[in-house]
Amino acid sequence: MAILGIDVGGTFTDAVLLEDGELRTAKVPTAEAQEDSVVAAARAVGAGEVERFSHGTTIATNALLERKGARTAFVATKGFEHLLHLRRQTRAHLYRLCDELPAPLVPLERCHGVRERIGPDGVLEPLDLSSLPDVSGAEAVAVCLLFSFRDGSHEQTVAEELRRRLPGVHVVASHEVAPEFREYERASTTAADAYLGPVCARYFRSLAERCRDAGLPEPLVMRSSGGVATIDEAARHAALVLVSGPAGGVVGAARVAALAGVENAISFDMGGTSTDVCLISGGRAERTLERSVGGLPIRLPMVDIHTVGAGGGSIVWRDAGGAIRAGPESAGASPGPASYGQGGARPTVTDANLLLGRLPDRLAGGIELDRDAAARVLDGFDPADVLEVVNAEMLRALRVVSVERGHDPRDFALVAFGGAGPLHACALAEELGIGTVLVPAAAGVLSALGLVVSEERRDSVRSYVCALEDAGELPATGEADLRYRGQSFELTVALGPELEQRFHLAHEERYGYADRDRPVELVAVRTADVRPGPELVLPPAEPLNVSGPALLELDGATCWIPPGWVGVRDGTLGVGTSSTLRVTRV
């Protein structure tokens, strides 16, 4: 049985092929057309007869961040046309009154209303399709009507009429993608889904065609929630794959930590462009129900990843005060860092690591490093200061997912991967008081390995917004969003016996008190249809016992073990630290 995983990053595209207990990997530079990189990576890893092919992509993320989506129109209930522009009254910076918020994805002149009204108890104003505006010229339309999370009949009729009038235009209704209350967040998610749909659909269609031509099966696509979906599902609702690539890394980190006998870990993925971190508790990655992407709220289940613009290719510069800064601008794959010898003329973190003796002369993908070029562009910068600056940026990210959320990082191991993650992991662990760093043998391609073993997962949500006692029978498994009557926000508690009592305990743990005499409201129930992924048994790597300072070349990555740290790999089959280096402080 051959299983293929390919992850497209900003600098490199990684491939992992697991076949009959053998693990093969490859790394190729990312091309402008991502589908070309996918096929090139499959060829480089020697993929032939493949039974399962999973793919992680940044196509949706990049299109949203760079505002390169489709020309989109927005249709709301009459009187609520300005919903995307009114937003919430919250501000990212409380005292910066003049800070401009990111512009909505749909300009005001393309926001329209239709006469209709559904209330909590039924229809208040019948739907008048004659009031449906002319939105011809739009490539996509987002429809978000009041209370459609409870009764989607009007919204469904509007969407069907738009599809009839505008064949070929991508139409998304909010009850199809985010059937939850809170109008702004639902509207923002629906608008993003419509805005990204045509871009992602074109990519996925092209990818499927290229894969067929190359003799590969149609790929499954990594969802933001950590499972995989069919390519048709991803094309219909692009918002589901917004953090597709990074989610694969978290899945891989959780599986590697479990094989090493570690339940609590923090995944640390440092690539060429950015660093992604996520908390893994009890063997499962933390998930969130909403996150901001490009300054816009997206209310969909996602692996709770925190990202900073710090990677090996991050540009080093000085601010107006003369202080050294690194990122968020990156040298990318082309031209790349100056030390790649491909025309890069600005200093990067990779150049600093090279001058400090923490990189070999040749990287994965056949890149020969040029020390003279690195020294030339870093003239005036102390390489050690550069690493201290970029480490401080990544340290803040690690604290966000641990300390700021009530977790003591000393109770966790750090799983370091990505091309540059193992270079910086020990220094970051020392700052946080973490005593163990896990470095997989396939650290440079762990996101692709996570794609190989990912589960098939389909999340669903049903809104209630009623007294818990009136909700009726609930599913046996899943999660419930609960709150005291009168509260604005809710806590998520696992479904099961004594649900109300467990909510009181969760509220007391979070806020320091519980009001057991106050009625409890059920806001929503979340369930997931999960089919487990393939079992992962990693082939053993050579036994290793090394004390720092030491430089280790791994598959697609480089590990730096500083003085005071010891790395051990026992080389046994399939369990423990078989192919994972366990680095500990002496």
Taking only the tens place, the pLDDT of each residue in 443-499 is 888 999 999 888 888 888 999 999 999 998 999 999 999 999 999 889 999 999 999
| Beta bridge partner(s), residue 409 | none
Instruction: State residue 529's pLDDT score.
Output: 87
Q: Torsions phi, psi of 349, nearest 5?
A: -65, -40
Q: Which pLDDT tens digit goes with each residue over 343-388?
A: 889 999 999 999 999 998 887 667 789 999 999 999 999 999 999 9
CA torsion angle for 336, 340, 344, 348 (degrees, to 10)?
70
Distance CA 193, CA 178 (A): 10
When comparing pLDDT for 21 and 462, which is higher? Answer: 462
Q: How far apart are CA 13 and CA 40, in angstroms?
A: 9
Q: What separation in angstroms does the CA of 96 have from each of 87, 104, 319?
A: 17, 20, 20
Q: Using an 8 Å Cβ cutoff, are 541 and 573 in contact?
A: no
Taking residue 525's Cβ as centre, other Cβ atoms within 10 Å add up to: 18
- Res 578: pLDDT: 56
Task: Supply 10's token pair.
Answer: 């900003």
* Segment 177-229, tens digit of pLDDT: 999 988 999 999 999 999 999 999 999 999 999 999 999 999 999 999 888 88
Contact between 229 and 219 (Cβ < 8 Å):
no
Point out which residues pair with 73 in neighbouring strands: 141
90-121 pLDDT, tens digit each = 777 778 878 788 899 999 999 999 999 998 78
Q: Give the tens place of pLDDT for each residue, 320-354.
A: 999 999 988 888 777 889 999 888 899 999 999 99
Range of lowest pLDDT (93-102, 391-400, 574-583): 574-583
C-alpha 354/C-alpha 339 separation (Å) is 8
What is the pLDDT confidence band of residue 575, given thresholds at 50, 70 and 90?
A: very low
- 234: three-class secondary structure by DSSP: helix
Residue 430 pLDDT greater than 90, yes or no: yes
The pLDDT mean for the chain works out to: 90
- The whole-number pLDDT of residue 111 equals 97
The pLDDT assigned to 571 comes to 57
Q: Is the pLDDT of residue 574 over 50?
A: no
Under DSSP, is residue 118 helix (H, G, I), strand (E, B) or coil? strand
Domain boundaries, the chain: 72-201, 314-385, 466-531
**Contact residues for 213 (Cβ-Cβ < 8 A; gap 6+):** none
pLDDT in tens, 23-51: 888 888 888 888 999 999 999 998 888 88
118 in Cβ contact with 154 (< 8 Å): yes
- Asked if residue 368 lies in contact with residue 362, where contact means CB atoms within 8 angstroms, the answer is yes
Helical spans, DSSP H, in 90-182: 153-165, 174-177
- Residue 154: C-alpha distances to residues 162, 209, 299, 358, 375 (Å): 12, 37, 22, 61, 65
119, 533, 125, 61: which is closest to 292 by C-alpha?
Answer: 61
Q: Give 59's pLDDT tier (boundaries 50, 70, 90).
A: confident
Are 568 and 545 within 8 A, CB to CB? Answer: yes
- Residue 364 confidence (pLDDT): 64
